[in-house]
Amino acid sequence: MRGKTQEDRDLIEILDPVAESVGYEIVRLRLMGGAEQRRLQIMAERPMLEDGSGGDMNVEDCAKLSRAISEILDAADPISGEYTLEVSSPGVDRPLTRLKDFDDYAGLEVRIELDRVAEGRKRFKGELAGTEDGQVGLNLEGEDDTTVYFPFEWLVDAKLVLTDALMKRGADQRAARVAADGGDADSEDLGDDDAEDEDFDLSESEED
């Protein structure tokens, strides 16, 4: 789910160690467009820590990761032709792309899509019930006491639903990060009213 194509997955293999070396994790990578002009979109975050800090990224974080990735791409030259690099935060109603995401965000509302029909459909909505033996648990919306499990490999898309509980979690994460950084929450953080727009994006053009 982090990469859609083999080319995406090859780039993730190259760039994962780069992101980790500067303190971030790649959530999703997409290389899009034709031969003349392509876009490399990278969504990343800080690792989630036990104290609840991490997760979100600000503009400075995106810039730092963008510089580190650009250096490696310039040296390794894995993408032919011109392209634009875009580095962004996942935002509050983020996609879930790794098995650990479904444990980290257990208890929150999510929409998922499968690559096959299960229970008579491909799309589901409900509360995340964590994972078990490589399967994602979901308490189905509108069906009391019904928890279904899907193999992680079946999922093609999963995204958190913007709810009050999710907004509160996002605010708590930002407060924890500011406290860990020794910063000023009033000057460094967004308020709850702006939380759904916290999807920073830094773009720059690259060419051979």
pLDDT tens across 89-148, in order? 998 899 999 999 999 999 999 999 999 999 899 999 999 999 999 999 999 988 877 899
**Residue 151 CB partners (closer than 8 Å, separation 6+):** 134, 135, 136
Q: Which amino acid is at 50?
A: E
Q: Which residue has the higher pLDDT, 11 or 192?
A: 11
Rounded to whole angstroms, the Cα distance separating 50 from 48 reads 7
Domains of the chain: 6-92+199-206 (3.30.300.70), 99-160 (2.30.30.180)
Question: 38 near 83, Cβ under 8 Å?
Answer: yes
Tokens standing for 176?
A: 């924890």
pLDDT tens across 176-202, in order? 777 766 765 444 443 333 434 444 556
| Predicted pLDDT at 201 | 57
The reported pTM is 0.82
Q: What are phi and psi of 173, to 5 degrees?
A: -65, -45
pLDDT tens across 68-82, in order? 999 999 999 999 888
| Predicted pLDDT at 81 | 85
